[in-house]
Structure 1
Amino acid sequence: MGKFDDLPETRRRGLEKMEQVYGFDMTDGSGDFFRYTADHLFAEIWERPGLTDRDRRLLLIGMLAGQGAADVLGIQVPAAHAAGELDDEALREIVVFLSHYAGWPQGARLNSIVEETIAKARRHRGDAG
């Protein structure tokens, strides 16, 4: 039995998808904002056919970099890396590519997040370099 089994089906699917996308444990929330986030964005939009989670993640990272949303990139980049959707090489290539479209300052912020993500993963695995 899962931890969300006592919730309505849509909320359960939304919370499970949120955990998968974000890479950390979720708890149920209240209010309209949380309802739209869990029930609509994650239970429905992230589950639509036509794009893989990796595709959605690439689109999201590009959009966030363009907006300078380093706080959310600090969640999405490590989660994509941990999920195996984007490896070290892909993340570094994204930085180079997006820097030319989003601007060098945005790219520099993204690069910091990417390199921190890679270094943290290596430390966790016990890799030297």
Structure 2
Amino acid sequence: MIEIKEVPLENREKIKNFCSVNNVPFNADAISHVVLDGSNILGVAQIKIENGIAEILSIFVKEEYRNMGLGDGLLKMQINYCYRNSISFVKVKKGLNDNFFKRVGFVEEGVYLVLDVQAFYANLKCQQ
């Protein structure tokens, strides 16, 4: 069963090892989310919070598991984390797959792409 969840601080070593093996930057102080299939890590995302603004540091899914919506799930997990913690804006440096972020509503602002978290949730179109 595939699940996406936040990684507790005490389990960060496994994430660090995964990042090292896959040549993905790792920040020990960041909030990490993972895609798991049992105990197998398929992807990881990291976000850091400074001065009430969140910055996405990385979103990575193993190549053989791409185009399955797992990256979208990690991104939405990060946005949801911000929403639950009253963080109004999420930013990511341009060049980290800009179209991926623009597709969900990030807009260009200087060297960053920025998302207004409240507007993101206000604009969700739910089907009944």
More strand by share: 2
The structure that has the greater radius of gyration is 1
> Normalised by the size of structure 2, how large is the TM-score?
0.35
Greater share of residues in helix: 1
